[in-house]
Structure 1
Amino acid sequence: MMQEQSMPEALEKTIIFKLNGSEYGLPVNFVESIETALPITRVPHEKNYIKGVINLRGKIIPVIDLRIRLEEQQEHSNEEDQIIITRIEETQVGLIIDSAEDVLDIPVHLLEDPPETISTVKKEYIHSIAHLDDRFIILLNIYALLHLEEIKTQEMDDH
Protein backbone atom coordinates (compact mmCIF):
# COMPACT_ATOMS: atom_id res chain seq x y z
CA MET A 1 0.00 0.00 0.00
CA MET A 2 1.37 3.39 -0.95
CA GLN A 3 1.81 6.10 1.64
CA GLU A 4 -0.06 9.31 0.90
CA GLN A 5 2.12 12.37 1.21
CA SER A 6 -0.76 14.81 1.70
CA MET A 7 -4.16 14.39 3.26
CA PRO A 8 -6.18 12.30 0.83
CA GLU A 9 -9.34 14.01 -0.34
CA ALA A 10 -12.51 12.50 1.11
CA LEU A 11 -14.32 10.68 -1.68
CA GLU A 12 -17.78 9.21 -1.83
CA LYS A 13 -17.61 6.03 -3.97
CA THR A 14 -20.92 6.10 -5.82
CA ILE A 15 -22.74 3.93 -8.34
CA ILE A 16 -24.25 6.19 -11.00
CA PHE A 17 -27.39 5.09 -12.81
CA LYS A 18 -29.90 6.52 -15.25
CA LEU A 19 -33.60 6.88 -14.62
CA ASN A 20 -35.83 8.75 -17.07
CA GLY A 21 -32.84 10.61 -18.51
CA SER A 22 -31.54 11.87 -15.15
CA GLU A 23 -28.44 10.63 -13.35
CA TYR A 24 -28.75 9.31 -9.82
CA GLY A 25 -26.24 7.86 -7.40
CA LEU A 26 -26.11 5.46 -4.47
CA PRO A 27 -23.12 4.81 -2.20
CA VAL A 28 -21.44 1.58 -3.32
CA ASN A 29 -21.31 0.24 0.22
CA PHE A 30 -25.10 -0.30 0.00
CA VAL A 31 -24.94 -2.02 -3.40
CA GLU A 32 -24.39 -5.76 -3.67
CA SER A 33 -24.83 -6.31 -7.39
CA ILE A 34 -26.49 -5.12 -10.57
CA GLU A 35 -28.69 -7.66 -12.31
CA THR A 36 -30.25 -7.67 -15.75
CA ALA A 37 -33.50 -9.17 -16.99
CA LEU A 38 -34.58 -11.03 -13.87
CA PRO A 39 -38.20 -12.17 -13.89
CA ILE A 40 -40.25 -10.36 -11.24
CA THR A 41 -43.02 -12.32 -9.58
CA ARG A 42 -45.85 -9.95 -8.84
CA VAL A 43 -47.28 -10.09 -5.35
CA PRO A 44 -50.33 -8.17 -4.17
CA HIS A 45 -49.29 -5.10 -2.23
CA GLU A 46 -50.94 -1.83 -1.33
CA LYS A 47 -47.79 0.13 -2.23
CA ASN A 48 -47.80 0.55 -6.01
CA TYR A 49 -44.02 1.01 -6.15
CA ILE A 50 -43.36 -2.48 -4.77
CA LYS A 51 -43.40 -4.47 -7.98
CA GLY A 52 -43.00 -7.95 -6.52
CA VAL A 53 -40.12 -10.26 -5.69
CA ILE A 54 -37.21 -11.84 -7.49
CA ASN A 55 -35.40 -15.07 -6.78
CA LEU A 56 -31.70 -14.23 -6.75
CA ARG A 57 -29.52 -17.30 -6.26
CA GLY A 58 -32.17 -18.88 -4.05
CA LYS A 59 -32.95 -15.75 -2.02
CA ILE A 60 -36.31 -13.99 -2.31
CA ILE A 61 -35.82 -10.22 -2.59
CA PRO A 62 -38.55 -7.55 -2.81
CA VAL A 63 -38.25 -5.19 -5.77
CA ILE A 64 -39.13 -1.48 -5.93
CA ASP A 65 -39.74 0.41 -9.17
CA LEU A 66 -37.68 3.54 -8.57
CA ARG A 67 -39.57 5.44 -11.27
CA ILE A 68 -42.77 5.15 -9.26
CA ARG A 69 -41.06 5.53 -5.86
CA LEU A 70 -39.49 8.81 -6.93
CA GLU A 71 -42.79 9.85 -8.51
CA GLU A 72 -40.99 10.42 -11.77
CA GLN A 73 -43.58 8.68 -13.88
CA GLN A 74 -45.79 5.67 -13.98
CA GLU A 75 -44.64 2.23 -14.78
CA HIS A 76 -42.97 1.40 -18.03
CA SER A 77 -40.72 -1.57 -18.14
CA ASN A 78 -38.55 -2.95 -20.85
CA GLU A 79 -36.07 -5.75 -21.27
CA GLU A 80 -33.12 -3.39 -20.83
CA ASP A 81 -34.17 -2.45 -17.28
CA GLN A 82 -31.64 -3.38 -14.63
CA ILE A 83 -32.09 -4.13 -10.95
CA ILE A 84 -29.64 -2.78 -8.38
CA ILE A 85 -29.53 -5.16 -5.42
CA THR A 86 -29.07 -3.07 -2.28
CA ARG A 87 -28.46 -4.16 1.29
CA ILE A 88 -29.07 -2.34 4.54
CA GLU A 89 -28.07 -4.47 7.50
CA GLU A 90 -29.79 -7.82 6.85
CA THR A 91 -32.37 -6.54 4.38
CA GLN A 92 -31.88 -6.82 0.63
CA VAL A 93 -34.06 -4.84 -1.76
CA GLY A 94 -33.93 -4.61 -5.55
CA LEU A 95 -34.36 -1.25 -7.29
CA ILE A 96 -35.54 -1.17 -10.91
CA ILE A 97 -33.55 1.38 -12.92
CA ASP A 98 -33.04 2.17 -16.59
CA SER A 99 -29.32 1.41 -16.63
CA ALA A 100 -26.27 1.47 -14.40
CA GLU A 101 -23.68 3.85 -15.84
CA ASP A 102 -20.46 3.70 -13.84
CA VAL A 103 -18.81 3.98 -10.44
CA LEU A 104 -17.43 7.39 -9.53
CA ASP A 105 -15.36 8.69 -6.67
CA ILE A 106 -17.14 11.95 -5.95
CA PRO A 107 -15.12 14.44 -3.87
CA VAL A 108 -17.15 15.12 -0.74
CA HIS A 109 -16.59 18.88 -1.05
CA LEU A 110 -18.59 18.83 -4.30
CA LEU A 111 -21.71 17.47 -2.56
CA GLU A 112 -24.37 20.11 -1.97
CA ASP A 113 -27.61 20.04 -0.03
CA PRO A 114 -30.59 19.61 -2.31
CA PRO A 115 -32.51 22.75 -3.21
CA GLU A 116 -36.02 23.11 -1.81
CA THR A 117 -37.56 22.04 -5.08
CA ILE A 118 -35.94 19.71 -7.54
CA SER A 119 -37.98 18.32 -10.42
CA THR A 120 -40.57 15.98 -8.99
CA VAL A 121 -38.36 14.00 -6.64
CA LYS A 122 -39.36 14.40 -3.01
CA LYS A 123 -36.62 16.17 -1.10
CA GLU A 124 -36.69 13.51 1.63
CA TYR A 125 -35.30 10.97 -0.85
CA ILE A 126 -32.33 13.14 -1.81
CA HIS A 127 -29.13 12.96 0.22
CA SER A 128 -27.21 15.52 -1.81
CA ILE A 129 -26.50 16.85 -5.28
CA ALA A 130 -23.18 16.63 -7.07
CA HIS A 131 -22.05 18.87 -9.94
CA LEU A 132 -19.27 17.14 -11.86
CA ASP A 133 -18.14 19.07 -14.89
CA ASP A 134 -21.28 19.09 -17.03
CA ARG A 135 -23.00 16.33 -15.03
CA PHE A 136 -25.68 16.88 -12.42
CA ILE A 137 -26.07 13.80 -10.19
CA ILE A 138 -28.78 13.35 -7.57
CA LEU A 139 -27.47 11.22 -4.70
CA LEU A 140 -30.30 9.32 -3.08
CA ASN A 141 -30.93 8.73 0.61
CA ILE A 142 -31.21 4.94 0.67
CA TYR A 143 -32.79 4.84 4.13
CA ALA A 144 -35.63 7.21 3.23
CA LEU A 145 -36.03 5.60 -0.18
CA LEU A 146 -36.40 2.07 1.08
CA HIS A 147 -38.39 2.89 4.22
CA LEU A 148 -37.58 -0.55 5.56
CA GLU A 149 -40.57 -0.84 7.88
CA GLU A 150 -42.87 -0.75 4.85
CA ILE A 151 -40.80 -3.21 2.91
CA LYS A 152 -40.17 -5.65 5.74
CA THR A 153 -43.90 -6.28 5.96
CA GLN A 154 -43.58 -7.33 2.32
CA GLU A 155 -40.75 -9.81 2.82
CA MET A 156 -41.53 -13.46 2.75
CA ASP A 157 -40.03 -15.72 5.36
CA ASP A 158 -37.19 -17.44 3.55
CA HIS A 159 -35.71 -19.42 6.44
Structure 2
Amino acid sequence: MDNSAVDHHMNGSNEYLVFTLGKEEYGIDILKVQEIRGYDTVTSIANSPEFIKGVINLRGTIVPIVDLRIKFHLGNVTYNQFTVVIILNIANRVVGIVVDGVSDVITLASEQIRPAPEFGSTLNTEYIQGLGTVEERMIILTDIEKLMTSGEMMLVESVAV
Protein backbone atom coordinates (compact mmCIF):
# COMPACT_ATOMS: atom_id res chain seq x y z
CA MET A 1 0.00 0.00 0.00
CA ASP A 2 1.27 3.44 -0.89
CA ASN A 3 1.58 5.57 2.21
CA SER A 4 3.32 8.50 0.57
CA ALA A 5 0.25 10.74 0.64
CA VAL A 6 -0.24 10.07 4.33
CA ASP A 7 3.43 10.61 5.09
CA HIS A 8 3.41 13.80 3.08
CA HIS A 9 0.68 15.16 5.30
CA MET A 10 2.28 13.91 8.49
CA ASN A 11 5.53 15.67 7.72
CA GLY A 12 3.65 18.90 7.94
CA SER A 13 4.30 20.17 4.45
CA ASN A 14 1.90 22.89 3.45
CA GLU A 15 1.01 24.70 0.28
CA TYR A 16 1.11 28.47 0.29
CA LEU A 17 -0.04 31.02 -2.21
CA VAL A 18 2.72 33.60 -2.52
CA PHE A 19 1.90 37.24 -3.18
CA THR A 20 3.93 40.42 -3.18
CA LEU A 21 3.42 43.62 -1.26
CA GLY A 22 6.09 46.17 -2.01
CA LYS A 23 9.44 44.38 -1.93
CA GLU A 24 8.33 41.58 0.34
CA GLU A 25 6.82 38.22 -0.48
CA TYR A 26 4.07 36.81 1.71
CA GLY A 27 2.64 33.33 1.85
CA ILE A 28 -0.85 32.35 2.93
CA ASP A 29 -2.40 28.92 3.38
CA ILE A 30 -3.72 27.89 -0.02
CA LEU A 31 -6.76 26.27 1.62
CA LYS A 32 -8.02 29.71 2.63
CA VAL A 33 -7.90 30.99 -0.95
CA GLN A 34 -11.16 30.75 -2.85
CA GLU A 35 -10.12 32.43 -6.09
CA ILE A 36 -7.85 35.03 -7.62
CA ARG A 37 -9.27 37.77 -9.81
CA GLY A 38 -8.39 41.10 -11.29
CA TYR A 39 -9.33 44.28 -9.53
CA ASP A 40 -12.84 45.35 -10.34
CA THR A 41 -14.76 48.44 -9.38
CA VAL A 42 -15.94 48.31 -5.80
CA THR A 43 -18.86 49.98 -4.10
CA SER A 44 -17.39 52.13 -1.39
CA ILE A 45 -18.85 52.19 2.08
CA ALA A 46 -19.16 55.46 3.96
CA ASN A 47 -17.09 55.89 7.12
CA SER A 48 -15.05 52.77 6.57
CA PRO A 49 -11.29 52.84 7.19
CA GLU A 50 -9.21 53.92 4.21
CA PHE A 51 -7.83 50.41 3.64
CA ILE A 52 -11.31 48.98 3.17
CA LYS A 53 -11.88 49.83 -0.47
CA GLY A 54 -15.52 48.80 -0.38
CA VAL A 55 -17.49 45.74 -1.34
CA ILE A 56 -18.10 43.73 -4.48
CA ASN A 57 -20.95 41.44 -5.31
CA LEU A 58 -19.39 38.08 -6.03
CA ARG A 59 -22.09 35.80 -7.40
CA GLY A 60 -24.59 37.04 -4.84
CA THR A 61 -22.19 37.30 -1.89
CA ILE A 62 -21.24 40.76 -0.65
CA VAL A 63 -17.48 40.66 -0.24
CA PRO A 64 -15.50 43.38 1.57
CA ILE A 65 -12.28 44.29 -0.22
CA VAL A 66 -9.26 45.22 1.90
CA ASP A 67 -6.28 46.85 0.23
CA LEU A 68 -3.31 45.47 2.15
CA ARG A 69 -1.04 47.93 0.37
CA ILE A 70 -2.85 50.80 2.07
CA LYS A 71 -3.08 48.88 5.34
CA PHE A 72 0.69 48.44 5.40
CA HIS A 73 1.44 51.98 4.12
CA LEU A 74 3.24 50.86 0.99
CA GLY A 75 3.33 54.17 -0.80
CA ASN A 76 1.70 54.73 -4.16
CA VAL A 77 -1.23 52.45 -4.62
CA THR A 78 -2.23 52.12 -8.24
CA TYR A 79 -5.03 50.06 -9.68
CA ASN A 80 -4.41 48.67 -13.14
CA GLN A 81 -4.91 45.53 -15.14
CA PHE A 82 -2.18 43.83 -13.10
CA THR A 83 -3.74 44.56 -9.73
CA VAL A 84 -4.80 41.32 -8.11
CA VAL A 85 -7.55 40.54 -5.64
CA ILE A 86 -7.27 37.32 -3.67
CA ILE A 87 -10.69 36.12 -2.53
CA LEU A 88 -10.34 34.38 0.82
CA ASN A 89 -12.68 32.18 2.74
CA ILE A 90 -12.00 32.91 6.39
CA ALA A 91 -14.00 32.02 9.47
CA ASN A 92 -17.05 31.35 7.27
CA ARG A 93 -16.77 34.77 5.64
CA VAL A 94 -15.58 35.73 2.22
CA VAL A 95 -13.12 38.63 2.11
CA GLY A 96 -10.98 40.00 -0.70
CA ILE A 97 -7.47 41.39 -0.32
CA VAL A 98 -5.74 43.61 -2.86
CA VAL A 99 -2.04 42.85 -3.35
CA ASP A 100 0.66 43.91 -5.80
CA GLY A 101 0.78 40.55 -7.49
CA VAL A 102 0.59 36.81 -7.05
CA SER A 103 3.76 34.94 -7.87
CA ASP A 104 3.23 31.24 -7.35
CA VAL A 105 2.15 28.41 -5.12
CA ILE A 106 4.90 26.80 -3.09
CA THR A 107 5.01 23.70 -0.94
CA LEU A 108 7.04 24.08 2.22
CA ALA A 109 8.12 21.25 4.44
CA SER A 110 8.27 22.08 8.12
CA GLU A 111 12.07 22.17 8.04
CA GLN A 112 11.92 25.01 5.50
CA ILE A 113 10.02 27.19 7.95
CA ARG A 114 11.88 29.28 10.49
CA PRO A 115 10.31 31.11 13.42
CA ALA A 116 9.77 34.79 12.72
CA PRO A 117 12.36 37.03 14.33
CA GLU A 118 11.44 40.48 15.55
CA PHE A 119 12.22 42.38 12.41
CA GLY A 120 11.13 45.45 10.54
CA SER A 121 8.43 43.89 8.43
CA THR A 122 5.38 45.97 7.65
CA LEU A 123 3.38 43.24 9.32
CA ASN A 124 2.91 42.96 13.06
CA THR A 125 4.75 39.80 14.13
CA GLU A 126 1.68 38.39 15.88
CA TYR A 127 0.30 37.70 12.39
CA ILE A 128 3.47 36.00 11.16
CA GLN A 129 3.61 32.23 11.41
CA GLY A 130 7.21 32.04 10.33
CA LEU A 131 9.58 32.59 7.44
CA GLY A 132 9.60 30.15 4.59
CA THR A 133 12.87 29.71 2.76
CA VAL A 134 12.93 28.58 -0.84
CA GLU A 135 16.43 28.78 -2.28
CA GLU A 136 17.26 32.50 -2.03
CA ARG A 137 13.72 33.63 -1.31
CA MET A 138 12.32 34.53 2.07
CA ILE A 139 8.54 34.23 2.25
CA ILE A 140 6.73 35.80 5.20
CA LEU A 141 4.14 33.22 6.16
CA THR A 142 1.09 35.09 7.29
CA ASP A 143 -1.75 33.94 9.50
CA ILE A 144 -4.25 35.60 7.20
CA GLU A 145 -7.21 34.41 9.23
CA LYS A 146 -5.87 36.00 12.40
CA LEU A 147 -5.08 39.21 10.54
CA MET A 148 -8.46 39.46 8.86
CA THR A 149 -10.45 38.71 11.99
CA SER A 150 -8.38 41.04 14.18
CA GLY A 151 -10.14 43.98 15.75
CA GLU A 152 -8.05 46.52 13.84
CA MET A 153 -9.48 45.28 10.55
CA MET A 154 -12.96 46.25 11.75
CA LEU A 155 -14.37 43.85 9.20
CA VAL A 156 -16.44 41.60 11.29
CA GLU A 157 -18.83 44.22 12.61
CA SER A 158 -18.69 46.99 10.05
CA VAL A 159 -19.57 44.94 7.02
CA ALA A 160 -22.17 42.67 8.53
CA VAL A 161 -25.07 43.50 6.26
Percent identity for Structure 1 against Structure 2: 29
Please point out which of 70, 77, 80 is paired with 1:78: 80
Question: 2-side partners of 1:51 and 1:60: how far apart?
Answer: 13
Contact kept in structure 1, 2:63 and 2:94, CA below 8 Å: yes
Question: 1-side partners of 2:47 and 2:5: how far apart?
Answer: 54
Offset at residue 74 of structure 1 (A): 5.4
Q: Between Structure 1 and Structure 2, how many residues are aligned?
A: 157
SS at match of 1:121: coil
Alignment of 1:101-116 (within 5 A): 101-116=103-118
Question: 1-side partners of 2:5 and 2:146: how far apart?
Answer: 38
Question: 1-side partners of 2:35 and 2:63: how far apart?
Answer: 13
Corresponding position: 1:151 with 2:151: no
What per-residue deviation string (whole Å, max 9, x for no partner) do you get for residues 66-90 of structure 1? 1122333353332311110111132
Contact kept in structure 2, 1:69 and 1:145, CA below 8 Å: no
Compute the TM-score of the two structures, normalised by the length of structure 2: 0.85
Which has a greater percent of helix? 2
Give ranges in structure 2 of 5+ residues lacking alignment.
none
Contact kept in structure 1, 2:17 and 2:106, CA below 8 Å: yes
Offset at residue 35 of structure 1 (A): 1.0
Compute the TM-score of the two structures, normalised by the length of structure 1: 0.86
Offset at residue 51 of structure 1 (A): 1.0
Question: 1-side partners of 2:77 and 2:126: how far apart?
Answer: 21
SS at match of 1:29: helix
- Pick which of 144-153 and 134-143 moved more: 144-153
Give ranges in structure 1 of 5+ residues lacking alignment.
none
Question: 2-side partners of 1:136 and 1:49: how far apart?
Answer: 26
Question: 2-side partners of 1:137 and 1:33: how far apart?
Answer: 21
